[in-house]
Amino acid sequence: MLIFLKFSEIFTKTKRVRKRFLNILKRNIESAFERENFKAKVILKRDKIIVECSEYRDFFERIFGIRKILVVEEIDFKDLNNLKKKVVKFMGNKVRKKTFGVRVKRKGKHRFNSLTAEREIGAELVKKGGKVNLDNPDIWVKLEIEGNKAYLIEREIDGAGGLPIGTEGTALCLVSGGFDSIVASYMIAKRGTEISFLFFNLGGFTHLKEVTNLLNFFWKNYLYGISPYLFAVDFRPIVEDIRTSIPESYWGIILKRKMFEVAEKIAKNRGFKAIVTGEALGQVSSQTLDSLYVIEKILQDVICLRPLVGFDKEEIINISRKIGTYEISEKIKEYCAIVPDKPVTKPELKKVEEIELLLEKNLIPLVIKTMRVIEPPYEIGEENIEIERIPDSAIKVDIRDKMEREILPFESDLQISYKEIDNYEFDKNKTYIFFCNYGLFSQEVALKLRKKGIKAYAFGGGIVRYKKVYKQ
């Protein structure tokens, strides 16, 4: 079987750029073959890519940069009379008692032109019981002729379009698990951008698990040719700081500014030129034009791309259904813990910047330092490392340094600083609950010790939350 992969935008590029784009597209196609366990040979041509294989599979329709997919039958012929006979052999029974039209595209030198070929092949098919209709036929008989070979198009399928992933730089997509952010990621990847993901965790293990399920589906089915990182940042300490320090009407605006601040720092450190969000103008209070202006003002070194800015919710939902993410996103709970009753919709930049001074300064570098970097497939295990209640037999371990213990006292069974953890011999028959101020470093320690077979947990929210739960 032969499959022709056609492209549109690539063909408009200069010869040098077209060559680079085609090589990247070929790489992505071969990546798809490997991921889908598909055996085939890829042949690069000036105007198409030819795939020699034994069957057609629908993953071709999800490779960005491909406009049309043609499943073709190769026909060797000597002259037009010979070609007519062979086309009739394939199509004679199919056009009987149906309307049809013939379209021929031709390359090379022949003793006939395309119009003559269309007329003579059509005349032969009429003899087999077909009726010509060039406006809206039941069947189109389409051929592409190159030299002494003709390619009869058996199926014509729309491709994903766009540009091959990897041709337009890198960007960091902010994802929440909802409909909008994953559709925005799809739209920007479709334009050839090599993307990675940034997830601000507001709901703990369950939230992270749900988002990794969504991203695994998206990566496996669309992001051929790349292995995007997932940067998972536990944002709950910052959410709590905003909730307790900031006037309620400004919660949403300042939360988004803090997310953008963290996103820019990660993007700059990792070499991303842009961050990508699923914001649509006017959809919620933090997406009014005034709000978007104030939020984006915190950026200095990267740009913010909003592929969905002009879309309404129904259009976004329709795309999520089309690409298969709707059913997954629909099941993911809304985890934002700070939804004000009367949010500000026309914030003033100067006032917002003044209010932000009420926040703790050390939390931004802390959540970045403790973020998890996960490569696909995005696996985080099945058991939650966070714990909400302390079992009677568990050993409470304070991993803070001496100065932190003096500032915020906490009664523990063991005191082992974060830097000394690797040198301590833990008993595999005992259960350990690790504590730090906000539960960030303790998660990292618990994950590390789990891999060594230790029954390790981190107390969710850290000592700050523990004191609230246990009224200390």
User: Is pLDDT at 134 greater than 90 in this prediction?
Assistant: yes
How far is 422 from 444, CA to CA, in rounded Å? Answer: 12
Look at residues 109, 133, 158 and tell me which one is the last residue of a structural domain: 158
Residue 379's Cα: distance from chain center in Å? 16
Q: Can you list the pairs that 353-360 forms with residues at least 24 positions away whose Cβ atoms lie under 8 Å?
A: 355/246, 355/247, 355/250, 355/254, 356/254, 356/257, 358/245, 358/246, 359/238, 359/241, 359/242, 359/245, 359/246, 359/254, 359/258, 360/241, 360/245
What pLDDT is recorded for position 31? 98
User: Is pLDDT at 359 greater than 80 in this prediction?
Assistant: yes
Average pLDDT over residues 437-453: 94
Q: Tens of pLDDT along 223-258?
A: 999 999 999 999 999 999 999 999 999 999 999 999
Residue 276's DSSP bridge partners are 173, 305
What pLDDT is recorded for position 470? 83
What pLDDT is recorded for position 70? 98
User: Is pLDDT at 43 greater than 90 in this prediction?
Assistant: yes
How far is 88 from 90, CA to CA, in rounded Å? Answer: 5
What pLDDT is recorded for position 202? 94
One domain, residues 115 and 9: yes
What pLDDT is recorded for position 335? 79
Residues contacting 42, CB < 8 A, separation 6+: 26, 29, 30, 33, 49, 50, 51
Domain membership of residue 303 (yes or no) is yes
Helices marked H in 346-413 — which ranges? 349-356, 363-369, 402-407
One domain, residues 236 and 360: yes
One domain, residues 120 and 29: yes
Q: What DSSP state is assigned to residue 81?
A: H
One domain, residues 141 and 37: yes
User: Is pLDDT at 333 greater than 90 in this prediction?
Assistant: no
Average pLDDT over residues 52-65: 97
How far is 234 from 199, CA to CA, in rounded Å? Answer: 8
What pLDDT is recorded for position 405? 95
Confidence of residue 382 (pLDDT cuts 50, 70, 90): confident
One domain, residues 76 and 120: yes
CATH at residue 390: 3.40.250.10
Contact criterion met (CB below 8 Å) for 311 and 184 = no
Among 73, 97, 99, 95, CA closest to 86:
73
Q: Tens of pLDDT along 3-26?
A: 999 998 898 899 999 999 999 999
What pLDDT is recorded for position 1? 93
One domain, residues 357 and 435: no
One domain, residues 151 and 177: no
- 198: its two tokens: 């940034």
One domain, residues 11 and 132: yes
Q: What DSSP state is assigned to residue 357?
A: T
Average pLDDT over residues 418-431: 95
Domain membership of residue 330 (yes or no) is yes
One domain, residues 232 and 116: no
Average pLDDT over residues 293-316: 98
Q: Tens of pLDDT along 270-287?
A: 999 999 999 999 999 999
Its domain, for residue 416, covers: 386-469
What pLDDT is recorded for position 337? 62
Domain membership of residue 379 (yes or no) is no
Q: What DSSP state is assigned to residue 98?
A: S
Domain membership of residue 381 (yes or no) is no
Average pLDDT over residues 33-50: 95
Domain membership of residue 165 (yes or no) is no
Look at residues 101, 125, 158 and tell me which one is the last residue of a structural domain: 158
Which of 140-154, 223-237, 323-337, 444-458 shows the lowest mean pLDDT across its residues? Answer: 323-337
What pLDDT is recorded for position 472? 63
Peptide bond into 377 cis (omega under 30): yes
One domain, residues 284 and 236: yes
Contact criterion met (CB below 8 Å) for 257 and 356 = yes
Contact criterion met (CB below 8 Å) for 276 and 188 = yes
CATH at residue 73: 3.30.2130.30
Average pLDDT over residues 375-387: 91
Domain membership of residue 26 (yes or no) is yes
Domain membership of residue 56 (yes or no) is yes
Look at residues 321, 354, 374 and tell me which one is the last residue of a structural domain: 374
CATH at residue 227: 3.40.50.620
Q: Return the active site residues.
A: 436
Q: How many structural domains does the chain have? A: 3
pLDDT-above-70 percentage for the chain = 99
One domain, residues 75 and 126: yes
- According to DSSP, the β-strands at 48-52 and 2-6 are antiparallel
Domain membership of residue 69 (yes or no) is yes
- pTM for the full predicted model: 0.92
One domain, residues 178 and 307: yes
User: Is pLDDT at 381 greater than 90 in this prediction?
Assistant: no
What pLDDT is recorded for position 190? 98
At 282, give phi and psi (nearest 5°). Answer: 80, 5
